[in-house]
Amino acid sequence: MGQTPAPSADEHAWAAFDAEALPHVDRLFRLALWFERNRHEADDLVQETMMQALQSFHRFQPGTKCLNVIRAAILTFWQAQGGPVVDLKSGAEGSGRVGRRAR
């Protein structure tokens, strides 16, 4: 009888990321589309945010609301790229207009 090898740490980490973060991609895309008002730019923003989330996932604590963490990450990344400050709870902006930003 052959034994299958135990999953590696990387495989376990990917499975955890897949279970915790990937179910929220549609919500993230809607938020990114609200920020960018452009499907291509929103796709890029979600991709960059998910890459950052994957790279930092080893710090994720089970039981934490992953969607809230990723929302904060997408907002931080967007603002670092020149987007205005936005309160996600109210939708109010601190400056500028929510939507496509000047590059």
Q: Where exactly are the structural domains of the chain? A: 22-80
Instruction: Report CA 43 to chain centroid distance, whole Å.
Output: 11
Q: Could you read off the pLDDT of 50-87 as tens digits, one per residue?
A: 999 888 888 888 878 889 889 989 998 888 888 877 76
For range 15-20, the mean pLDDT: 89
Instruction: Report CA 78 to chain centroid distance, whole Å.
Output: 10
**For 14, how many CA atoms within 13 A lie in the half-sphere containing its CB?**
5
Distant-in-sequence, close-in-space partners of 69: CB < 8 Å, separation ≥ 6:
53, 60
Q: What is the pTM of this model?
A: 0.71
Rounded to a whole number, what is the distance in angstroms from the first to the last CA of the chain? Answer: 61
